[in-house]
Amino acid sequence: MGDGHLSETFPEIRDAVRRLCAKFPGEYWQRLDRERAYPTEFVTALTEAGFLSVLIPEEYDGSGLGLEAACAVLEEIHRSGSNGGACHAQMYTMGTLLKHGSEEQKREYLPKIASGELRLQAFGVTEPGAGTDTTRISTFAKDAGDHYVVNGQKIWISRAEHSDLMVLLCRTTPREEFAKPSDGMSVLLVDMRDAVGNGLTVRPVRTMLNHATTELFFDDLRVPKSALIGEEGKGFRYILSGMNAERILIASECIGDGRFFIDKASAYAKERNVFGRSIGENQGVQFPIARAYVQLSAAAEMVTKAARMFDAGETAGTEANMAKMLASEASWFAADMCIQTHGGFGFAEEYDVERKFRETRLYQVAPISTNLILSHVATHVLDLPKSF
């Protein structure tokens, strides 16, 4: 495909990720998709290779790299046909612990996360009655001396059954007691090994995708005060930084998906012969592939910009949102184009296109929908009036 690695960063990391992912071909992911099973072997291999600890500082046994490096890892995972959904949360939840955790908490948990002894994969924010309006969460942690008592419910929490630790956002003061609705929320680092069955119930939610999605029910769950990250009542601002990282990392996965579809479509268009010639000779086939490449290349530059701003400590909320929107739309266009290029074979499991087609559609909805990104740009960038 000519210049197939436009603006490629971290070539050594990318090459190492490609070699690792080659051991987990499409058949592996198809089987897991059918069985709705967690890719334990894949996550273990990534952990042992150090790819899931790229953001952990060297003093805590990590690589000490930035978000841009993490983006390179996830992009290549997705370009290879693999899926980072089983483990990407560890990267974006890491920031809450790294930036706002105590030294004692970091020394207790980070080396174990880096080695794979502990998994930090669950991010407990979304609720049935709150959705993207995080200020309206109602899960409450009541002060009970040396511990909190947590009651409430969370929804769309992926990997809770496969995680040892969960970053949990909850209220510690009622919303109505503050003029600013984002105040009064706190972050707890919950040990899932002790919590499940002792006040925490995990219920799987079947979805179109194998993301191990669950619903969580908290019923007088006791959480020690030592689990509080940062200051009580300041949790919302801690989570915001993690959300920006999440959107940038998800955007990088979309870029990887898009490149996967373009690679697949280009190869098939060259190989598939109809009426005595390859279908790739037809401009009706060529042009959609070329357009997908153009759109994806532009989106990739936005992702890189957002990641670099984040790593530099700059406010990157708008750029993170725009990167996620552009990348998710570019990957979806590429997915649709790839199915169309393959024709009926695009729906066959054997070609391993339909699985990725389903996977990449998610990202125009989660972790934030396209409409909410447009609303953010309209009201926060263009100063248009908010609608209520």
Cα 268–chain centre separation: 29
Category of 98 on φ-ψ map: left (φ > 0), alpha (ψ -120 to 50) or beta: alpha
Q: At what angle do helices 317-342 and 283-311 cross, to 10 degrees?
A: 160
Q: What is the residue whose two structure tokens read 């592939």?
A: 289
In the residue annotation, 246 being an active-site residue is answered as yes
Asked if 48 contacts 55 with a C-beta cutoff of 8 angstroms, the reply is no
Please name every residue paired with 148 in a beta bridge, in sequence order, or none if there are none: 143, 223
170 exposed, middle or buried (CB, 10 Å; 0-12, 13-18, 19+)?
buried
Tokens of 134: 């995080």
**Amino acid at the residue 60:** Y
CA distance 73 to 88: 10
* Residue among 295, 211, 302, 209 nearest 248 (CA): 302
Task: Give the Cβ contact number of residue 371 at 10 Å.
Answer: 12
Phi, psi values for residue 71, rounded to 5°: -60, -40
Annotated active-site residue in 68, 127, 246, 354: 246
CA distance 41 to 26: 14
Residues in the chain: 388
Greatest alpha-carbon span in the chain: 79
Q: Dihedral (C-alpha) 52, 58, 63, 68: value to the nearest 10 degrees? A: 90
In sign, the C-alpha dihedral spanning 299, 300, 305, 308 is positive
Asked if 17 contacts 76 with a C-beta cutoff of 8 angstroms, the reply is yes
- CB half-sphere exposure, 343, CA atoms < 13 A: 7
**Amino acid at the residue 127:** E
So which residues are the catalytic ones? 246
